[in-house]
Amino acid sequence: MPMTPHPALASLCRGTLAAAALALVTVSAWAQQPSPPPQVPPVEMREGRVAAPAPPAAAPGDVRSLDAIIGALYDVISGPVGAPRDWDRFRSLFAPGARLMPIVQPRPGEPAQVRVLSPDDYVGRANRTFEQSGFYEREVKRDVLTFGGLTHVWSTYEARHARDEETPFMRGVNSLQLLHDGTRWWITTVMWQPETPAFPLPK
């Protein structure tokens, strides 16, 4: 049997329904707002691999030119013993999926091997080393080849334990591949070979 609600109760119900409808419309309108495009580097991962997280935003001065990004790479890893490095700055130079690959020779006469590191792998190893000794690396010679967006840099380096140390304790060659996306530079790979008696640097 239908019942006639009390006038005050009917007014309350109408107010509640109106508030619910307004909330629904507000949520629906918010959900339809276009989200801003993600700020991700121009790297596309295929073959089922999961894309690496986007690196921190780079300082524009670090990535505006080839000289700038290579200078930033050498600068950010250099410093006195125990001094913390700016690892977010370091990560910002690398494209997602970038690799750092030192060539090592376990013992004289044994075949050389390559270790494949992510930027985070490198950070973990370097932190342990820099806690024990100072490290300053600088470029002494560079050869560059460019085709389209691809640039290959052959960068000869010297490493010292102190900035004013006269003789480097290590020399070698960094082989870098870089991408210019029309806006900024990205490092995609770094492979390096330290100088050895079997492989001296040319004069």
What is the chain's mean pLDDT, rounded? 82
Spell out the domain ranges in the chain.
60-194
Tell me the average pLDDT across 130-150: 97
pTM of the model: 0.75
Q: Do the bridges between strand 94-104 and strand 185-194 make them parallel or antiparallel, or are there none, so unpaired?
A: parallel
Q: Strands 94-104 and 113-114, how do they pair?
A: antiparallel
CATH assignment, 60-194: 3.10.450.50
Q: 126 or 2: which carries more pLDDT confidence?
A: 126
Does pLDDT of 37 surpass 90?
no
Nearest to 140 by CA among 61, 187, 201, 69: 201
Please check the confidence at residue 41 and state whether its pLDDT lies above 80: no
Q: What is the pLDDT of residue 42?
A: 52
